Structure 1
Amino acid sequence: MPIKLPSDLPAFHVLTREGVQVMDEDAASRQDIRPLRIGLLNLMPKKIQTENQFARLIGATPLQIELSLIRMSEHQTRNTAAEHMESFYRPFSDVRETGEKFDGLIITGAPIEHLPFEDVTYWDELCAVFDWTQTNVHSTFGVCWGGMAMANYFHGVEKHMLPHKLFGCYRHSNLAPQSAYLRGFSDDLVMPVSRWTEMRREEMEAQGLAVLLHSEEVGPALVEDRARRALYIFNHLEYDSDTLNEEYQRDLANVQVEGAEIQIPVNYFPDNDPALTPQNRWRSHAHLLYGNWISEIYETTPYDISKIGLESTDLRG
């Protein structure tokens, strides 16, 4: 089944060219099924790139998906055209006021990890989002800073600043092969990482959180918060093949301006040579993870979407 997107959203045309099944509103209305409603609270500066990355993954399942783009109500982006935001995004305040419910919600990262959580300009509203997920969202997926923020808000787990940026492709171990979210996963896998902070395994497990994927080099990567019907991933399986290179080139450009120390992404370029094209070694696991997440939602969400938040708070009862 395809993912339902507005026909004039850039992701519609990008995914169509890639062979991903997409449909517009007219085509979707002719199918006598209930699509899964998935929200994307996009906190990243490059909105369109992020839309493409997540739409690509959740649109590759056998189910019909209706993707809704959500933004913080007062925060104004400087990296995406106002016309795009006005055409395709709804402020969270509107979504909450209308009482809408979602089968799933993805909360992205944001390039603000150097700030204490409470110093983020939209922190109060984001906390309201977190509370709202407990009554209006069946399953929430927090990505990178978004996942750290959820773990901090719900469980008081602290993020720790690192002496240097974790940047590159790192091997991770599968600690829970029996997990439905890791169905089909290898015993170990490569994941792109780009962050200055970490959350520690022992501190998360002390709060009853289950670490599913872990790296000896960069710490926990995927964490299940069963009580909150949530997953937290601190790394970036959704990244395109060239995303780390784009970040590297951006950092190189900033050297002349800020004098920042630049490191080549670890284990990313062939032979550690930035002149060579990097190979994507994580795409299959990205599709597995998000496909498994969508599958779990489909199997456990109420058919009557209005009952989300009123039935069992546990995805498996």
Structure 2
Amino acid sequence: MAKRKRLTPLETGPQSSEPAAALETKSMFTASRRAAPIADVAAGAAASAALEELSERWEAARREGKLVLELPLEQIEMTHLVRDRIAEDPEEAQALRDSLRARGQQTPIEVVALPGRAAYGLLSGWRRCRALAALRDETGEARFGTVQALLRRPEDGHAAYVAMIEENEIRANLSHYERARIVVKAAERGVFASEKSALATLFASVPRARRSKINSFIAIVKSLDRALRFPEALSERAGLELAQQLRDRPGLAREIAQALKATPPADAAAEREILTCCMAAKPVSEPAPIQSQTPEVEPKPAPETLAQWPGLTLRRRGSRLEIDGPGADAELGADLAAWLSARFGG
């Protein structure tokens, strides 16, 4: 068999001491890729725009009250508004504390930023703040030292009070006395020009009949707010009767205040008994007027009661019809005039 001969490369010059160059490959002729400058600029601009848009949306959500904030309880000013709720039911308060302890806060409160201060005025959520403060003092746990809140921006004082009223009308069963009291206090603070304006604005969404009853309780608030100890326990029927007697007997408010001061009631039932006794007592008769020498006038016929509703009585006196009571307001007068006009074609 013939032998194979090994071939060696031809040397054209003296052997170089430098290592031979590496073999050429396809990659040697491929230029290294890099992003075009315009693409870098576009990507950076898009990222910056997206971040700016996100920041604007975040701030807008915060301003519009759509962002839940976690605030220290110390920064919440509980007395920013005159509260509509006078007393807190112990059983309801305990149930709320038990819920917060087991499940945490489920519904944010509503606050408004106070200008120039690191504090927030409370609009709604008074009971939740009190419950969290009680749990913090009881347990010492940090989770009860903060409250979740929505930052509101009411246009004026009217809107702030309306926010509180609407929240409590949904969540809490306020008494007529408590509703009337917030009307009186809001008018006293100058938030509204008058009690009538406050009543119409704060309770614009409630039925007219309920507004009429709240209006009747305003007289009780103005006459006995400092004397009564359990006014929120005053029932609707008892309150309307008391309001009527306060109008008919100018000295009744003073008699009730003196009786409550002489025998301070221990509970709502005792206070109700004192009120009943004062209303049942006959008013002190005034001295008989001096009879004049003029001929006696024929006495007017006794009125006949035709119908009676809470806060409203319809009587007939001879050929006259009389409507009396706290429900006989301007709205009822307008409705009655429209009905008579339609009936008699006037």
TM norm. shorter chain > 0.5: no
Task: Please tell me whether Structure 1 or Structure 2 has the larger radius of gyration of its CA atoms.
Answer: 2
TM-score normalized by structure 2?
A: 0.21
Structure number with the bigger relative contact order (C-alpha 8 A, sep ≥ 6) is 1
Q: In proportion to residue count, which structure has more strand?
A: 1
TM-score normalized by structure 1?
A: 0.23
